[in-house]
Amino acid sequence: AREEQPTEGGGALPGASVPCPGAEVVREPAEPPQARTPSREAEADFYCVKWITWKGERTPVIMQSENGPCPLLAIMNILFLQWKARDCILSTQPREPSEGLQLNFQQNINDTMMVLPKLSTGLDVNVRFTGVSDFEYTPECIVFDLLNIPLYHGWLVDPQSPEVVQAVGKLSYNQLVEKIITCKQASDSSLVSEGLVAEQFLESTASQLTYHGLCELTAAVREGELSVFFRNNHFSTMIKHKGHLYLLVTDQGFLQEERVVWESLHNVDGDSCFCDTDFHLSHAPGKEGATAAPPDHHLHQRQVDQDYMIALSLQQQQGQDPSALSDLELARQLQQEEYQQQQQRQQQPPPCPPQGRAQPGGRPAGERRQRQKPDLDCTLL
């Protein structure tokens, strides 16, 4: 690519014509559909680039117009953030002169070159529910191994749910779907029941991220590590900063938002926070208008999630088993229900004050929440 750089907000990456279904095709003057050929459409595809200041260096981030299975963007953004976009493969050559290692490395290179075209349309990734780095091996996974880029997911079974553990076992997603179909057709009632448990697990975790998986993910990822996070058939660039996980914002809608670079990953419901390149909380225009919930609800939700992660961190520091988290999850759920009940009571209209008597001034909502906060913390921890 040429060294031309767009303006501060973003722009197009010259020479980047790797097709991807997640990127919007931008074409020069409109032509009749019959005049377009596949080769010309491929040449017209391009990605926009957002330039950020990453660790003091001006660094490009490739954006995409839609969420789609495009692992190429996640991998390229990691290489850009590591400043290895030009020499990464050469730097991974084995240093030992062993003929066997050299042949194995050359074979990996050849396999990778066969897989590279698929990176723009999606990879065949089949998760296992036993660990955040457990995937059924496919030839496509060799790209991550060759580039030394970790691949993670957070779709795990809670080990304290024995029925689900038995139903899911060490099966991959595809194998579990086949098992559910087989169990439904079985005459043995125990197999039918096991199939229903497995099906209920898939339905209840349709977001493909569980709290147990999020906790295991937080514990497994190293501080400052750049990796690829797989969820809902989408690949994202992920980093761990000061014990918290963040996903790189690549939505083209934020191309001109210089202060929106990272998005926090601290719960399974998608209620996240946007941060700048230094992981400071930033304001995303229009985000408040996307929901009718009051602002203090979002503040409370973030506080609950932060307290939950603090409790997890303390538990791990004390040497307890990270998988024994059901009590914490139950406390978090009870705390959330209590808060919702308080919200319902607060939404009830207050009684009218007697005539001739001034209505006493109430404290701001923030001060009322400040008095309740210690009780919430005590309930959780």
- The catalytic site residues sit at 70, 234
∠ CA 346-352-353, nearest 5°, is 115
- Residue-by-residue DSSP string for 116-134: GGGGGT----EEBTT-TT-
**What is the pairing mode between strands 234-241 and 226-231?**
antiparallel
Q: Which amino acid is at 361?
A: G
Other beta carbons less than 10 A from residue 86's beta carbon: 9
Query: Which strands make up the sheet holding 151-152, listed edge to edge?
Result: 151-152, 226-231, 234-241, 244-248, 262-264, 274-275
> Residue 238 burial (CB < 10 Å; 0-12/13-18/19+)?
buried
CA dihedral 297, 301, 307, 308 (to 10 degrees): 150
Judge whether 237 and 81 are in contact, CB under 8 Å.
yes
Q: CA 219 to CA 136: how far, in whole Å?
A: 22
Other beta carbons less than 10 A from residue 342's beta carbon: 14
Q: How is residue 11 written in tokens?
A: 């722009």
